[in-house]
Every structure is written in structure tokens, then in C-alpha cells.
Amino acid sequence: MQRRLFLLFLLFALLPAAVFLVVDWQLSRRHLAYLDSPGLAQALESSLSLARRALDAEKAAAAGEAARLAARLAGGETPPAPPGGAWRLRGPAAGPAGDGAPDAGPAPLLALLAEQAVPAAPERLATTDGHWLLAAAPLPGGGHLLLLRPLDAGLAGTLDAVARGGRRHRQLQLYYGELLRSDTLLTLAAVLVLLLLAALWLSRRLARQLGGPLRELVRGTERVAAGDLDHRVAAGAPAELGELVAAFNAMTERLARSQAELRRAERVAAWQGIARRLAHEIKNPLTPINLALHRIRTRSEEPVVVESITAALEETGNLQRLADEFSLFARLPAPARRRVDLVELLRGQAELYAGGGAMEVVWEGWPDSLILEADPGLLRQAFGNLLKNAAEAMAGRGRLVLGLARPAPGRVAVSLADSGPGLPRPAEELFEPTVSTKATGSGLGLAIARRIVEEHGGRLEAETAPAGGAVFRVTLPAGGDVHGSPGAGPDRTGGAAPPETEEVS
């Protein structure tokens, strides 16, 4: 499952990445194709041609003006000076500027002309004063006339821009075009690798987060289906999947509790049938046996006979009590509910098992009275069994703490904590019928106590206290009245009522 999820997430992650890369590559190719576009090259060539024609026209005009000025000078005229200036160079008809020098003119231009060879055709010059056209015309008496004609700044800028554009386009075509294509491919390859790594990491992470808990849920379901109701899914999961894991564990726990209750109910039902038959089989011969023993004792005064009959009657009495317990376990009557003061009921039971003060009884958290709707006879028997069990565990001497708490609204919890050796076996086993840790016990006391508590809508649980001793906790519905605030001081008289306190509602 985790592998399938990984492949599915990887596919979903790579599909948009592949679409993005294809679209980006197509756009890049389209943009790079502009460099080889015939229209762009034709436009650049047309611009260059127009610029050359404009410059050639200016040069032709400058050459014509220089020729006209030279002709007028040869005719003895003195023409007006042109805007840029005209100078007559002494020297041969042609040659470098060093062969002669201008007659007069501005110092920067004179210096330039002094270094400039006599051009055979008009040339363009650039100085700090601007852009010029230099044209030369021969003079009849020897030498040349040099004409500087200013070139329009806008035209000069346009010519330069067109020239730069043409050079850059040729550079892009010859060198940068291939470089840009290579860079584009490298960039797209790097992006593809990064997207692939990110997709792998994300897919693996999602597959682990989702596939792991799902796999554990499947295994947990199989184990629960096989009967292992103690199995719990411990895999951490995010958000809703975590809620699903928690719900699965809660469901398994409820199933385990339900199965445990069902098994206990089945065992109880089975033991009820056994107890019913045992009680019947024990009671049937007990009556004639008791009658016969009493007749024998009334007709014989011999000490040996009297002693033997007394011992036999004690054993038949034990058998009668055992039969009564079996009968009660087999046919527990429905609770006849009425108002019962739990404080008074427990006080009376504690006095019976306190052993004349040998066992210290401590009351913690009790009010003056606590009224419940319950069957007083059944509750008295249940708490009597628990108090008797605690007294026997402490051999009649020790400390018994009777505590009261409210674990939830509408519920009261009575705890009986003794200072005995603690539970000799797991708590649930103690409530099984016929399970007893005493040589003479029937094992039905705790089982009957639990049935009585459950018939009242409560629970009976047991545990070993951390400091030693056993703790039995009875939780019952509390729908009656409470008078007096909880008492804090222990009662060491072995059965007296809890300390009196002020009344609360």
C-alpha cells in the first residue's frame, strides 16, 4: 500500500512539472527564434541602409560645398565662412596634414586638422564640440581646402544607435544565440532535477504519513478479527487519519470490555446453574441430618457423644450457610429500592467487624448523612462481605479507611482501604465464583457483592494500594440528599459516626 501511494503521489507531482517544463521550453524556443527571424534581420538591414544613405547624402553635400568654396577662392572671391569653417592648407595637393597647417580656426579643430590626413572622400569626425563632416577640395595653386560641416546631433545619435543595433544582432546570431539555447537547456534541466527531487521527497513523506497508519490499521483489523482484542494501533497519524486510529483503538477497547463482560456473564450464568443444583443437593439431606443429630444429643449424656454431636452440628451449620450462599448467588432477588442513609448503614456494618476496637476504622470525606435509593438489605450484605474480607485480611487488627468521593455528577464512590498484605492474585479473578484465598471460604462473597452492586447500577473494583494493602471501590448512583459537609478527622472508635460538620445543600 505504501509503495502504491508513493507511486501515485509521485505521478501527481510530476505531471504538472512536466507540463510546466514543456510550456517553458516552447516559450523559450519561440523567444530564441526571434533572433533568426527574417523580418527582424530585414528591418535591421533596412535601418542600416537608410542610415548609410542619410550619411552619404550629408557627405555629398559637404563635398559639393567644399568644391564650390575652392572654385570661388580660385576665382579671387572671398566667400563668407561656412558654419563649421573652412581652411586652406599649404602644401602639396595631397598628403598628410603635417605637410601644411590651417591658416586659422578654433584651437581644438586646428589640433585635430593638424593630425588629420587630407581625406580623399568626406569623413565623419567626433570631437568634444559635437559631430562634424570633413571634406577636402584641391586648390589651383596647390594645397587643399578643408571644410568642417556640423552634423545634426539627432541624426548622429540615430546613426550610432542603428550601428550598435546591427552589431548586437550579429553578435547574438553568431555567438549569444547558441549560448542562450545552451543556458535555457541547462536551466530547464536543473529545474527538472529539482522538481523531481522535491516530488520524490514529498511523495515519500506523504506515503509514509498515510500509508504507515493505514497499514497498521489493516494489520490491527486482522489481529482483532483473529481475536486479539488487546492489540492497539500505535502509529502516529495526522489530522483525520489520527482520529480514525483513535476511534479504532477506542472501538477495540470497547470490544474487549464487552467481550470480558460477556464472558463473565456466561461464567456467572453457568455458576448460577451449578450453585442452584449444589444448594438443592446440600439442603435436601441437611434437614434430616440436623433432626437426627438433635435427637441423639437429647438422648445421650455421654461427653464424647455430646462433643461429637456438637462438632457435627457446627459442620452442618457451615453447610447450611454454604447452601444459603449458593441459593443467594443462584437467585439474587431484584433490589427493593427505598431511601437508605448510606452513612448509617456503613456505620452499623463497621461496628460488627471492628472487633471491639482492635481494628481501627477511619472515615474520610463523609457528610453527616447520604441518602440513596437502594435496597438496604442487599447493600448491607454487599458491604458486610467487603468489611468481613478486609477484617480477615488484617487478621482482625489493622487500619481500615472508609473514603467517600464523587468521581462524576450523580455518582458516589466508597473506598475500603485496608492495611493487609494486598491482593494475592489479579483483581478480576477474586470476583470469580468459588475463587477464595481462605481455607474455609466458599469463594462466593465477592462475587455476590459485585452482583449486588451491579444490580444497583454501580461498579465494584479492586486494586493493590501503592503503599500496600487492598482497596475495594464501590461506585453507586447518587440521587438522594446529602447533609453536612465532608468530615476530615478520622474516627478511631471502630464504628462511631463520622465527625459532625455544618449542613450544606
Q: Is residue 15 part of a domain?
A: yes
In this prediction, residue 347 carries a pLDDT of 93
Same domain as 394, residue 342: yes
Instruction: Point out the domain boundary residue: 119, 151, 183.
Output: 151
Q: What is the mean pLDDT of the chain?
A: 75
Q: Phi and psi for 66 in degrees, rounded to 5?
A: -65, -40
**Between 412 and 482, the higher pLDDT residue:** 412
**Between 370 and 140, the higher pLDDT residue:** 370
Same domain as 441, residue 417: yes
Residues of the chain with pLDDT > 90: what percent?
A: 16
How many folded domains does the chain comprise?
4
Amino acid letter for position 247: A
Dump the DSSP string for 85-145. -EEEE-SSSSS-GGG---SS--HHHHHHHHHSPPPSS-EEEEETTEEEEEEEEE-TTSSEE
Residues of the chain with pLDDT > 70: what percent?
A: 69
Same domain as 478, residue 347: yes
**Between 77 and 378, the higher pLDDT residue:** 378
In this prediction, residue 414 carries a pLDDT of 96
Q: Range with the lowest mean pLDDT among 42-56, 77-91, 126-140, 253-267?
A: 77-91
- Give the position of cell 443467594: 328
Side-chain half-sphere exposure of 201, counting CA atoms within 13 A: 6
In this prediction, residue 472 carries a pLDDT of 96
The 10 Å CB-count burial string (b at 16+, else e) for 229-254 is: bebbbebebeeebeeebeebeeebee
Q: Is residue 32 part of a domain?
A: yes
Question: Is the pLDDT score of 421 beyond 50?
Answer: yes
C-alpha to C-alpha distance for 408 and 417, rounded to whole angstroms: 21
In this prediction, residue 483 carries a pLDDT of 60
Across residues 235-246, what is the average pLDDT?
69
Same domain as 345, residue 452: yes
C-alpha to C-alpha distance for 243 and 236, rounded to whole angstroms: 10
The crossing angle, in degrees rounded to 10, of helices 239-299 and 445-455 is 120
Same domain as 456, residue 359: yes
Tens-digit pLDDT profile for residues 8-48: 656 666 677 677 667 666 666 665 555 555 656 676 677 77
Q: Is residue 363 part of a domain?
A: yes
In this prediction, residue 280 carries a pLDDT of 67
Grid cell digits, residue 263: 464472558
Pairing of strands 459-464, 359-364: unpaired
Same domain as 203, residue 107: no
Same domain as 93, residue 166: no
Is 362:490 a contact under the CB 8 Å cutoff? yes
Dump the DSSP string for 178-240. HHHHHHHHHHHHHHHHHHHHHHHHHHHHHHHHHHHHHHHHHHHHHHHHTT-TT--------HH
In this prediction, residue 489 carries a pLDDT of 37
| Confidence band for 106, pLDDT divided at 50, 70 and 90 | very low
C-alpha to C-alpha distance for 274 and 267, rounded to whole angstroms: 10
Q: Give the Cβ contact number of residue 382 at 10 Å.
A: 26
Q: Which residue range is the domain that position 268 belongs to?
A: 239-330
- 163, burial (CB in 10 Å: exposed 0-12, middle 13-18, buried 19+): middle
| Confidence band for 52, pLDDT divided at 50, 70 and 90 | confident
In this prediction, residue 379 carries a pLDDT of 94
CA distances from 144 to 74, 310, 417 (A): 11, 170, 135
Tens-digit pLDDT profile for residues 452-491: 999 999 999 999 988 889 999 999 998 655 566 555 434 4
In this prediction, residue 98 carries a pLDDT of 34
Is 345:460 a contact under the CB 8 Å cutoff? no
In this prediction, residue 29 carries a pLDDT of 61
Q: Give the Cβ contact number of residue 126 at 10 Å.
A: 12
Tens-digit pLDDT profile for residues 314-370: 878 777 777 777 777 777 778 899 999 999 999 999 988 876 667 899 999 999 999
Across residues 235-252, what is the average pLDDT?
74
C-alpha to C-alpha distance for 276 and 505, rounded to whole angstroms: 46
Same domain as 291, residue 440: no
Same domain as 15, residue 71: no
In this prediction, residue 107 carries a pLDDT of 44
C-alpha to C-alpha distance for 210 and 8, rounded to whole angstroms: 12
279: CB partners within 8 A, 6+ apart? 323, 324, 326, 327, 330
Q: Is residue 490 part of a domain?
A: no
Q: Is residue 233 part of a domain?
A: no
Q: Is residue 248 part of a domain?
A: yes
**Between 111 and 402, the higher pLDDT residue:** 402
Same domain as 345, residue 460: yes
Q: Range with the lowest mean pLDDT among 56-65, 134-143, 168-177, 188-197?
A: 168-177
Is 458:476 a contact under the CB 8 Å cutoff? yes
In this prediction, residue 102 carries a pLDDT of 47
Same domain as 167, residue 28: yes
Grid cell digits, residue 153: 546631433
C-alpha to C-alpha distance for 124 and 55, rounded to whole angstroms: 9
